[in-house]
Amino acid sequence: MTVDARTRRTSRTGRNVLDEIAARRRADVRSLAVSLTSLIGTAVDAIAATPPPRPVVERLAAPGLHLIAELKRRSPSAGAIATDGDDLVARARAYEAGGAAAISVLVEPHWFGGSIDDLRAVRAAVSVPVLAKEFVVDALQLPLLRAAGADVVLLLAALHRPKELGRLVEQALRIGLEPLVEAHDEREVRAAVATDARLIGLNNRDLRTLEVDTERAVRLRPLVPDDRLVVAESGVRDAATIAAWRAAGFDAALVGETLVRAPDPAAAARSFVAAGAHPGDLANRANEALVKICGIVDADGAGAAVRAGADAIGLNLVPGTPRALPAEEATALARLVREIAPADRRPRIVLVTVDRTTDDINALARAIGADAIQLSGDEPVSVLDGLVRPAWKALHLPAEGVAAPTATGAAAADEISARARAWLAAGAERILLDTAGGPHPGGTGVRAAVDLAAAVARDVPVVLAGGLTPATVGPALREIPAVGVDVASGVERLGPRKDGERPRKDPLRLALFAKRARAARTDRPNLAVRPAPIAPGLLEADARGRWGTAREFGGRYVPETLMAALEQLERAYADLRNDPRFWAELRTLLERYAGRPTPLYRADHLAELALAAARTLATAAGRPDVVPARLRLYLKREDLAHTGAHKINNALGQALLTRRLGKTRVIAETGAGQHGVATATACALLGLPCVVYMGAEDIERQQPNVLRMRALGAEVRSVTSGTATLKDAINDAMRDWVTNVETTHYVLGSAMGPHPYPTIVRDLQRRIGDEAAVQVQADEGRLPDLVLACVGGGSNAIGLLDRFIGEPSVRLAVAEAAGDGIATGRHAAALAGGSPGILHGARSLMLQDRDGQVLEAHSASAGLDYPGVGPQISALYAAGRLEIAAATDADAFAAMQDVTRAEGILPALETAHAFAVLPRFLAGFEGSGAPLPAETVVLVGLSGRGDKDLASFGRWRDAHPEAAE
Amino acid sequence: MTGAAAEPAVVDAPGGTNHTPGAGRIAAAFGRARAAGRAALIPYVVAGYPDAETSLAIALAAADAGADLLEVGLPYSDPLADGATLQRASAVALRAGATFDRSVELVGRIAAARPDLPIVPMAYANQVIGGGDGSEVAGRLAEAGAAGVIVADLTPDEGSPFEAVASAVGLAVVYLVAPTTPPERRALVAGRTGGFLYCVSLVGVTGARAALPRSVGRLVGEVTAVSPVPVAVGFGVSRPVHVRAIVEAGAGGVIVASALVDALGPDGRDIDAMAALVRDLAAATALP
């Protein structure tokens, strides 16, 4: 008995269920022991006849979360569960057919109605491993369970002293029974982790009181090192719980009641299995790190690396090192990898060399059939001349004596970055950054390595190497924006080696390493995952919401009444920003409900039109040669997202946020009506009452969207103050918020407003560019030369551009609304014609007079008819990172017509501004004026569809019959 | 935004503007009222409403009807803390040609006519700070004779640079607390305000209300308890009964804005009605 009487907890009825069951089980074992002594010979025979254990850990170490489906006849918490006692076997088969990775069988007879016969029957009926769900109080039970076929056994940390628990784990492992050690509080987790158990279970249910705390397992998860497999138990409502557990870093879910009650068990299991799958969507995949397994020495290791889906394997050819291979062995392993790997997932074979000559390396590469050469010595850059394979250059961080945050550390990072850039410039394909001491958080010396490695990785693309393990690779990848990881010793078998024996890979550690590396950034879209050699103030706001190279934009200028709400929002969002559960939930909604990822379409007809127009412009200016010879024009089709514009990305995210804030009412402003429609849609979906403020003038020109909002159940309030457009709608929404702040969340529609709104909206929209970058890369093998979006407040623009800010090869541009023409003063071009000021809670560029009175914006496009622009866009422009152009109303209507005729796509009038300025960029008339390359790739954000603009488009055509031809 | 978002609410060095000559003049006015057994009455007039000349007459009439301090609103195109009355007055004033120069001129003329009356202009951040640090506006207001300035959308979190330039010209920067301000933050805001602390009576925008929220008494008591300077209560205050309740709760002053603009009538010219309301309100300021 290990449960301390003082800490013993009891259920509401005053009983401690766990103690009762355990006491009864001890009595059972005592009587069993008496009868066993006479049966000992039979028992030994039974064990000998037991089929070998089915491996479970490698299966659970595969990507994603796996289902362990549980069978029980009844339980103390739920009473009788199974309706028909005889269907256990059929149900087990159904679970297996539904994709369960293992089946759990309740063996305890008195409370759960189970038996060892149930276990035996189920084990015989399925081919997946079987978990014996038993209250093990004595080691004697272990061989009996194994003899009945159990592959895994449950051990409750609550029932044993730590030492006793460790012994039980050892005994189980010795007879091939995989122990799953279950814990439900911090103390028990510590005891469980102290054992050799490879499976740790975290139970939401307190077995003493039977009460379920659905957050318990997730809370405890960080206490279990990542080199264990972690199983979440109890409290599954539906498949969404499974998805959340996957996001929180669990490898398996043990599901009982919820499955048992499902009328179609196979279908239910299948839906849970699907919910646990590792998400392979575009945006997530783009953030995954490359995995290189180095120092493979035998066929087992090669096979394990291929199975784990390694992107590269390293074969060591450095004489005198522990993993060195003779050339013949390396050749054989390279051939083996080619044979066993699937063609589309074959790891690249990298030969690790030190200080060899170019000729020597070429000879080896050809003989062995390598895909790349790793240079791990002190080679001169000139070694690359004449190399027949791509080169990966290893650079070493100073192992000792570098104090991180000091000037010395910064200088060391600069020095390594400079060397890396020199190698890359000379043609090296990749840089490996060897951090020697290990880049994982921990002791002080190691911390220095993390900061230094992060500083280098922010500057140049590096593959992180040195000291990584399955336990440390996740945190390292979250802290260091490396593009890949390289591991050798961290995935090798533990324990002593014989003299001269080469270190061999441990298949489980290897699989787990690959899994942890891939999952490290999944559903964490706001981590830095690649170099972005640019001022940090252009990428992220500081703690006070300031953007810019001098942090001169942004901030929080609001009436005191709103401060508490903004601080609450800031705190809540800080928690969610890197919470993969939130982003997984949102991603599922975006995929299943909103239609993401949106397609990328190459618009060849429109490209020809734009080129022709550019040539006309350039010829007239006497420099026809500046126009690119060829243009591949890609449209990111946000018009195909649900509700017809990018706005749904933000609205769904903030609606989920509203729920997390505990608020019960939503308000929003809208200009063109797209944000209003998106918010009304998200509110209809989540059952939130919604009020949309809209300028009276906009209500007039965007009638279809007004009708849609009303159909969705939103109340549209007409705003007649000021200019009766978007700016005044925001004023009135803020007044509403000031009045109802305790119950209401303000779903701001653009990447503007007081901190933290510009960050929230950008984060929710950045998916546009994240997807588009992968899509362009897939078609072109490179990033675009120019990325162009229309800009009003800036949500679609920053959503598209953000991914490319840190990419020096990509030019960023926006098209503003010039209304009647910037020279007329009747326009909405806050970048071209504005100055720094404070509008709607933040400092940014805006239209104002010398007294600071906000000027009326003018644009036929309601969505761009706004006198300001968000702080991040303002900062990018002020820093010279963003090029600008402007299109008049007439230009935009004409472009709307061109796009529609050329491609059969009716763009929103807002979007048409971007198309209108494209020929001028191609002719070098806009922005930097620098000519684009002869083969130019341009990405344009097609932010929304134009149905809402048909009435004003029709009026324009009527007024310009010549253009309609 | 970084992961470490949850910083202390009010940041930067202690500082504030309570040491400025402007704050001293404000404190003296509160002191004089107190010595006379009254809470201070602070009427609000919109500069340039309904036109420049009339607004001067309104200001002087309000001053003479019992003002201890005078708040002068600088009309703004986007007054998002204001309700319908002040939005309209602002828009009318702007249409009638109100500019910052003319507002400064108005402040100067009131100050010249009533030298003992501390004048506290109220404006929005873009009018005062905009893309700079606010030194020009602060300098000109101080030069015209203003004692302090209230910026409706400026909190101590963003206020440090402006406090510095205001201090340099002797101007007090008055901050606000609201019913939504958490208790620990109230003390911090009170520690940074200059002259007096503006206590917003209700959760909402400006505008006359038939009744104030019942919680206002407790709010005033709590805010007064943590404030080193007098607390004046505004937003929604429109009737003598409101004034009495606020004074009984311990406030050192009351601010009346929209109700006075309403009293001026639709054309903004009924100065007598406005002055009568000021007198009625002043009569309700007797300390318990």
**Model pLDDT for residues B103-157, shown as the tens digit of each residue:** 999 999 999 999 999 999 999 999 999 999 999 999 999 999 999 999 999 999 9
Q: Which residue of A has its CA nearest to B203?
A: A739
Model confidence band, residue A370 (pLDDT cutoffs 50, 70, 90)? very high
CB contact under 8 A, B203 and A728: no
Dig out the tokens for A345 from the structure. Answer: 């997932």
Q: Let me know: does B34 contact B242? Beta carbons within 8 Å.
A: no
Chain centroid, CA A677 distance in Å: 27
With CA atoms as reference, report the closest residue to B188 among B7, B6, B9, B50: B9
pLDDT attached to residue A403: 45
The pLDDT score that the predictor gives to residue A446 is: 59
Contact, A88 vs A53, CB < 8 A? no
Structure tokens at A333: 């392993």
State the angle between helix axes of B216-226 and B183-192 in degrees (0 to 180), rounded to the nearest 10.
Answer: 50
Q: Say what the ipTM of the complex is.
A: 0.95
- pLDDT of A47: 62
Are the beta carbons of A560 and B175 separated by less than 8 Å? yes
Entry field: residues in chain A = 965
Question: 3-state DSSP call for residue A633?
Answer: strand
Q: Which residues of A345-365 are buried (b: 16+ CB within 10 A; e: fewer)?
A: ebbbbbbbbbebebeebbebb
Of the pLDDT bands very low, low, confident and very high (cuts 50, 70, 90), residue B13 is very low
How high is the pLDDT of residue B75?
98
Span of A6-15, A515-524, A742-751 with lowest mean pLDDT: A6-15
Q: What are phi and psi of A840, to 5 degrees?
A: 50, 45
Section A706-721 average pLDDT: 96
* Tally of CB atoms within 10 A around A494: 6
User: For chain B, what is the HEC assignment?
Assistant: CCCCCCCCCCCCCCCCCCCCHHHHHHHHHHHHHHHCCECEEEEEEECCCCCHHHHHHHHHHHHHCCCCCEEEECCCCCCCCCCHHHHHHHHHHHHCCCCHHHHHHHHHHHHHHCCCCCEEEEECHHHHCCCCCCHHHHHHHHHHCCCEEEECCCCHHHHHHHHHHHHHCCCEEECEECCCCCHHHHHHHHHHCCCCEEEECCCCCCCCCCCCCCCHHHHHHHHHHHCCCCEEEECCCCCHHHHHHHHHCCCCEEEECHHHHHHCCCCCCCHHHHHHHHHHHHHCCECC
CA nearest to B95 within chain A: A722
Instruction: Specify whether B262 is catalytic.
Output: no
Quick check: helix, strand or coil at residue A601?
Answer: strand
pLDDT at A926: 85
CA dihedral sign of residues B51, B53, B54, B55: positive
Q: Which residue of A has its CA nearest to B202?
A: A739
Question: How high is the pLDDT of residue A888?
Answer: 97
Res A262: pLDDT: 86
Percent of chain B at pLDDT > 70 equals: 95
From CA A585, how far away is CA A589, in angstroms rounded?
6
- Mean pLDDT of the region A102-113: 94
Average pLDDT over residues A137-164: 95
Q: What is the mean pLDDT of residues A215-229?
A: 97
Write down the mean pLDDT value for chain B: 94
Which residue out of A72, A292, A647, A663 is catalytically annotated?
A647
Please report the pLDDT score of residue A7 as a whole number: 44
Instruction: Answer whether residue A5 shows pLDDT above 70.
Output: no
Confirm whether pTM is higher than 0.90: yes
Cβ distance B131 to A843 less than 8 Å, yes or no, reads yes
Share of chain A above pLDDT 70, in %: 93
pLDDT attached to residue A537: 98
Question: Catalytic site residue A771?
Answer: no
Gyration radius (Cα) of chain A, Å = 32
Tell me: the pLDDT tens digits for B257-278?
Answer: 999 999 999 999 999 999 999 9
Report pLDDT for B58: 98
Longest dimension (CA), chain B: 58
On the question of pLDDT at A219 being above 70, the answer is yes
pLDDT score of B7 more than 70: no
What's the longest Cα–Cα distance across chain A?
106
pLDDT given for residue A443 in this prediction: 39
Give the type of residue at B115. Answer: P
Alpha-carbon distance of A555 to B180, in angstroms, equals: 20
Which is catalytic among the residues A96, A188, A669, A910? A669
Helices (H) and strands (E) in chain A, counts: 36, 32
Region of poorest pLDDT, from A18-32, A505-519, B127-141: A18-32
| pLDDT value of residue A77 | 80
Write out chain A residues lying below 8 Å of B11, CB-based.
Answer: 544
In percent, how much of chain A has pLDDT > 90? 81
- Of A97-111, A220-234, A496-510, A906-920, where does mean pLDDT reach its minimum? A496-510
Q: Given a cut of 80, is residue A711 above it in pLDDT?
A: yes
Q: What is the pLDDT of residue A722?
A: 84
Cβ distance of B130 and A838 shorter than 8 Å: yes
- Please report residues of A whose CB lies closer than 8 A to that of B6: 567, 570-571, 574
pLDDT at position A839 over 60: yes
Asked if the bond preceding A867 is cis, omega within 30° of 0, the reply is: no
Q: Could you give the residue ranges of the DSSP H alpha helices within A500-593?
A: 507-519, 560-577, 580-592
Q: Give the pLDDT band of residue A673 (cuts 50, 70, 90).
A: very high
Strand order in A553-554's β-sheet?
A546-547, A553-554, A842-846, A835-839
Report the pLDDT value the prediction gives residue A762, as an integer from 0 to 100.
98
pLDDT at A586: 97
Q: Which residues, listed in sequence order, are joined to residue B198 by a DSSP beta bridge?
A: B176, B232
Mean pLDDT of chain A: 92
Confidence category of residue A965, pLDDT binned at 50, 70, 90: low
Which candidate in B7, B10, B80, B106 is best for mutational testing of the A interface (most A CBs within 10 A)?
B80
Is 70 exceeded by the pLDDT of residue A6? Answer: no
Classified as helix, coil or strand, A564 is helix
- Cβ–Cβ contacts within 10 Å for residue A640, how many? 18
What is the distance in angstroms between the CA of the first residue and the CA of the last residue of chain B?
Answer: 49
Q: Nearest chain B Cα to A727, which residue?
A: B78
Partner residue facing A739 (CB), from B2, B78, B205: B205
Judging contacts by C-beta atoms under 8 Å, the chain B residues touching residue A565 are 180
Mutate to test the interface with B, among A838, A840, A856, A874 (most CBs of B within 10 A): A838
**pLDDT tens, residue by residue, A48-85:** 667 899 999 999 999 999 999 999 888 888 777 765 55
pLDDT score recorded for residue A410: 78
Rounded distance between C-alpha atoms, residue B227 and residue B175, angstroms: 12
Average pLDDT over residues A403-416: 70
10 Å CB burial of residue A56 (0-12, 13-18, 19+) is buried
Residues A579-604 have a mean pLDDT of 97
Identify from B10, B74, B76, B77 which residue to disrupt to test chain A contact, counting A C-beta atoms within 10 A and taking the largest count: B77
Report the C-alpha gap between A524 and A513 in whole angstroms. Answer: 19
Contacts of A840 in chain B (CB under 8 A): 78, 80
Of the candidates A666, A660, A712, the residue with the CA atom closest to the CA atom of residue A689: A666
Tell me how far apart the terminal alpha carbons of chain A are, to the nearest angstrom. Answer: 91
Across the range A871-882, mean pLDDT stands at: 98
How far is it, in rounded angstroms, from Cα A864 to Cα B129? 26
Angle ∠(A565,A567,A569) on CA atoms, nearest 5: 70
Is A883 within 8 Å of A812 (Cβ atoms)? yes
Which of B49, B38, B97, B101 minimizes the C-alpha distance to B72? B49
pLDDT at A80 (0 to 100): 78
Beta bridge partners of A678: none
Q: Among A268-277, A701-710, A937-946, which is the least confidently predicted range?
A: A701-710
pLDDT confidence of residue A358: 95
Distances (CA, A) of A866 to A585, A792, B124: 33, 6, 19
Structure tokens that stand for A348 in this block: 């690249």
